Amino acid sequence: MSERAVRGGAGGPAWVSSFPPQVGAGCRVLILGSVPSVRSLAAQQFYAHPHNLFWPFMGALFGAGPDLPYAERLARLHAAGVGLWDVLKHCERPGSLDSHIRRDSEVPNDIAGVLATHPTIAAIALNGGKAQQLFARHVAPALAPDRHAILALPSTSPANASLPRALKFERWSALQRWSKLPSEG
């Protein structure tokens, strides 16, 4: 295994690294999580936990559901103008819970750089409260004000049971407004 998550034993501190950005040409909305979970790191895929609602939501919104091979899901998101990445490039975190990220270990990704090389990105969608906090702390201060719409969305993580699935999906449906695909209905 690479540097992605190897330091520390089970439950102990582990150095976690995010994946490269998945941003296609003409991307209109960039979805940012905090940092990959242990399950995602093992699978080398964004949102790999089978109980995470991310891929079922992407299936309903853009035809990029969990029943498709991972590469096809990414291709469909790219075709819809949707990109994926994480706020953090590296951090130390035992397990998968965002609440266990050690603040003094947080190293952000170069999101401003991705935004500069993809000027078509009009909106940034933040998957959950921790992604929102990390974005506000590490990324927002370096961005031009009012250049991008910021969408604060409820976490799709199975650890977030604060909202019913239908309400989460309703909030996530806002992505259609920003994508390349016409909204249904």
Written as one string, the DSSP assignment of the chain is --TTB-SS-TTS--EEEPPPPB--TT--EEEEESS--HHHHHHTSTT--TT-SHHHHHHHHHS--TTS-HHHHHHHHHHTTEEEEESEEEEE-SSS-GGG--GGG-EE--HHHHHHH-TT--EEEEESHHHHHHHHHHTGGGSPTTSSEEEEE---STT--SS-HHHHHHHHTTHHHHSSSPPP-
Q: Is the pLDDT of residue 6 over 70?
A: no
Q: What is the pLDDT of residues 91-105, one digit of tens each?
A: 999 888 888 899 999
Residue-range domains of the chain with CATH: 21-86+109-178 (3.40.470.10)
Q: Is the model's pLDDT at 11 over the cut of 60?
A: no
Alpha-carbon separation of residue 64 from 37, 72, 110, 117, 150 (angstroms): 20, 7, 26, 25, 23
**Residue by residue, what is the 3-state secondary structure of 145-170?**
CCCCEEEEECCCCCCCCCCCHHHHHH
170/160: higher pLDDT? 170
Q: Which residues contact 75 (CB under 8 A, 6 or more apart)?
A: none
Residue 7 CB burial class (10 angstroms; 0-12, 13-18, ≥19) = exposed
Please tell me the distance from the alpha carbon of residue 115 to that of residue 122, in angstroms, as a whole number.
9
- What is the tens place of the pLDDT at every residue in 134-164? 999 999 998 988 899 999 999 999 887 788 9
Asked if pLDDT for residue 7 goes beyond 70, the answer is no
- Tens of pLDDT along 67-87? 999 999 999 999 999 999 999
Q: CA-CA distance, 170 to 154, in Å (whole number)?
A: 10
